[in-house]
Structure 1
Amino acid sequence: MSSTIVNHPIDITLPEWLESCLHTPPVDGAATEEDRKYYDTSLICRAFEFAYQLHQGQYRKSGEPYICHPIAVAGMLRDLGGSAAMIAAGFLHDVVEDTDVTIEEIEQRFGSEVRCLVEGVTKLSKINFKSKTESQAENFRRMFLAMAQDIRVIVVKLADRLHNMRTLEYMPDEKRRRTATETREIFAPLANRLGIWRFKWELEDLAFKYLEPEAFRQIQQLVSEKRTDREERLKKISETLRTRLAEAGIRCLDISGRPKHLYSIYQKMQ
């Protein structure tokens, strides 16, 4: 493909947003502070290029190049509306732990803001979670929040955990269950506490998949079988609401609904 890093071709398929970023001119000197915060493509691209070089030759259990993981994490942070520093930290969140790069070098290359985010995620990754009760789990959640100092560290860590959960099938069974338990007891409640619902729902469903696989499959099948009927009912209700609102003189741009996620259905059935 056309993109290169230090005169070497990129040997993976990049998401469209990153491909575009690599070909976007950097923010000029006349840019406002707000533009630099969210649209500093130079910072984002430099972070990607550095991570790409450092993770060369490293592979995940799935067999894919390791760089695919930080790309996915950075993409989630971008989708959440994260700043350039957060996206850069998404690319760099594993380099201190998995390579010879020091946190001081991160600051030298990318500034103190990125350094603080990467350092915070690295510290959280070293916590050994062993919970037997809900009170212990709550203590761990509070410790996470206290250690992070900057709440953005938690958001980066949540994105990291979500992508790891999406690829958990490649891990040994014991590792899958331990990670799924951590996710349900620590990370999903943290996402809920921060109001990042899309992370919470997916984290819970993925943990459910590995902790109660038979119940997960049954509910997944039932939801799939009822999908057409559910969508038709939602369409009719939306049309009725739109008509009633129009009659009341209320202009409505859009009416939409969402299906309950699988773990939520499971909880209501208990």
Structure 2
Amino acid sequence: MSAATHCWERGGRGVSDTPSYLHVADALRGHITSRRLQPGDRMPSISALQRDHGVSTGVIQRAYAVLIDEGLVLARPGAGYYVKSQEPPAVLVRRQRGAPGDGSPTEATLARQGVVGTWRHESQPRAADARIAARLEIQPGDPVMHTGYVYLADGEPAQLAESWEPMAITGGSLIVLPEAGPHAGIGVADRMALIGIEVGVPVERVTARQASRSEAQTLGVAPAVPVMAIERTYYDQAAGRPVETADIVLLGSRWVAEYGRRP
């Protein structure tokens, strides 16, 4: 075995001027392009690559960052790294609220397109900051229920959302936790209907921007990819007050938005 070959396999120590993380990235890329690792396969763990290449955790993380930027690898927080399919993903159509009783609008929208929609979530009470208080027409510091979501389409992250609901409206009721209890996961409109509030179609402001670093990491894509950002607010149709507001982030490569309905 030549010195150069030995250097490539062991992370580039002492022989080549090429950074170690690029040698590791080359080795992993070779497994992908040779089809030894197929789309959807889990990539080697960081600890296994540390052992095989004799390098630090940081070197392996930088190597994976290179492959993510190249579109070869998908990072799934808490689950590791996976070979990304090179087939263009199906474009998903996002529509506003469906018919009452449809349950989760995102799940229903994906199901109509033959895609299995699942999500991760975490809810906790918070004090409304000035931005959220203005959107909900409450006072800064008032209690709200905050819920963060990661939506997956056929197992791959495709949408993020953060939701805030005034505790003055939902506190003390069975719907206070959007994703827990007997009415979990049925969506804002159907949950509010259970406490006598009709919300109708939400108001949405749609903009385009680049994903933040944390958003890109959660979605498993390179930083600064295009995303569609939606600021959504549901209103009590009788009282005119906001009852929920949310920030929704959708991958520009996966989604288009469609508004209005054909007669």
TM-score (norm 2): 0.27
**Higher helix proportion, which one?**
1
From the CA coordinates, give the structure whose radius of gyration is larger.
Answer: 2
Work out which structure has the larger RCO, using CA pairs closer than 8 Å and 6 or more positions apart in sequence: 2
**Higher strand proportion, which one?**
2
TM-score (norm 1): 0.26
